[in-house]
Amino acid sequence: MSTVPIVTASGASLLRSHLVGAGGAGMSAIGAILLDRGAQVSGSDAKGSHVLSGLTARGAVTAIGQRAENLDLLPGGPTAVVVSTAIRPDNPEVVEARRRGLPVVHRAEALAALMVGLRSVCVAGTHGKTSTTSMLTVALQHARLDPSFAIGGELNEAGTGAHAGTGDIFVAEADESDGSFLAFAPHGAIVTSVEPDHLDYHRTAQAYAAVFEQFVDRIAPGGFLVAGVDDPGVQRLLGAVRGAAAHGSGGLPRIVGYGRSEAADVRILASHLHGHRGTADIGLPDGSHLELSIDVPGEHMLANACAALAAGIQLGIDPDVMVRGLAAYTGVRRRFEYKGRVGSIRVYDDYAHNPTKVTAAIAAAREVAGDDRLVVLFQPHLYSRTIAFADAFGQALAGADVVVVLDIYGAREDPRPGITGALIADAVPPGSARVHYLPSLARVPTDVADLLRDGDLVVTMGAGDVTMLGPALLDELSRRADRPDGGR
């Protein structure tokens, strides 16, 4: 693809971009699209990963470790340095960029620049963003529209989370965690849910809800909003934006509700789960019905598919074409992703990291497990989230038969004295699941293997490095299975 000017709202050229933290899902997506659009890309990350290697394979110049000299990876150096909120101001590459007078651009501003001239659809919400974005993307691909997309995960079908398409639609996951989705002015938006989260940044539930109101206000004139009307937070959001419009402080986008509620325009009238599959009878605004079928488990996934269907209809796609496309969706990496089995023990991995997501993931896993035991290895993410939601996590995890709570993955936060995964382990109600607290990650494969029995379905769950434990556990189980006594 030939190079075309890509300029941010602040005037920074992305012709030669350096990405700090290039191995992150959101940052690597921007890098991939920039490369597809003919830009030159360099980047670095603190450690190597398959994501960073994939970006290198696409043509980026990358480095492991973050140093000032990485800004010279491209001939002539970068025209802009792209960062996320997770990158601290004292990062050596950021410090060097400012010393050189280079523009330091937030990744959301860079992504917004890539959307210019296209019909963008931004998918926001406390939970369900990645799956809904992925479903809409796959359905549009099957409609032969070749959309551009940027997703916080890798599509099972494509093996990537980003692509610069030849069509006029751009589908993007919109991150509310730091309010950066306010950089977008989309043609259309999906809001799946609004439930307090990321209080390390937003501080209060009220401030978190308010940023969604500002996001909806950013929808372009004549655009649309697909809203999950079953969610109380979305109901309050719609009340607020309608109230603001009634008082003359702005116009309303075309609002299309989806869900089970009678208020839904695209409504789930009935649904059935069959192990890994789900089907739903969907009622459309014109009174017609259609059957929606997806090859991923869980009622929440049917709701996400309903959102994608509603958005596709707003984009002018025939509903039957959308349904056929959604039937081809097979999931995204780290969303109830099958990792393997040893004997009759199956292992999956899931990104769920707030109470509602954990509840939904456990319900979906329970459907697949059937009468077998469900064993969940949960890694809390962020000290602030653990403090705020320990009790809710305990209630959510009670849906499993056996719960193994690991220590906290701090990510961008520094440790806090006395705040550990034990807070969540202690919050699981007595008499529900059997609970174990294992603070040593290195011991988890052997200790968990000791707990397992034939038929168990195991889910590693969380937003941190818990994803590494599934393969390690399978290796441990394989070693034991190869022993003459079966490892018992």
Q: Which residues are catalytic?
A: 129-130, 173
The CA-atom distances, in angstroms, between 80 and each of 14, 77, 174, 179 are 6, 9, 22, 22
- Supply angle C-alpha 188, 265, 123, rounded to 5: 30
Q: Which amino acid does the sequence have at 220?
A: A
CA 303, distance to chain mean position in Å, is 16
In terms of Cα–Cα distance, which of 422, 390, 419, 417 is closest to 405? Answer: 422
Kind and range of the H or E element at 55? helix 50-57
Q: Are 190 and 253 in contact (CB under 8 A)?
A: no
Buried b (16+ CB within 10 A) or exposed e, 138-170: bbbbbbebebbbbbbbbbbbbebbbbbbeeebb
Contact (Cβ atoms closer than 8 angstroms) between residue 424 and residue 393? yes
Residue 126: name the closest of 283, 308, 355 by CA.
355
**Nearest CA to 425 among 409, 405, 444?**
405
Angle between helices 355-369 and 299-314 (to 10 degrees): 110
Closest CA to 462 of 300, 350, 297, 337: 350
Q: Which of 161, 172, 175, 176 is nearest to 119 (CA)?
A: 172
Q: What gap in Å lies between CA 421 and CA 415, rounded to an integer?
A: 12
Strand order in the sheet with 16-20: 61-64, 40-45, 16-20, 80-83, 104-106
Q: What are phi and psi of 209, to 5 degrees?
A: -65, -35
Phi-psi region of 416 (alpha: psi -120 to 50; beta: other; left: phi over 0): beta
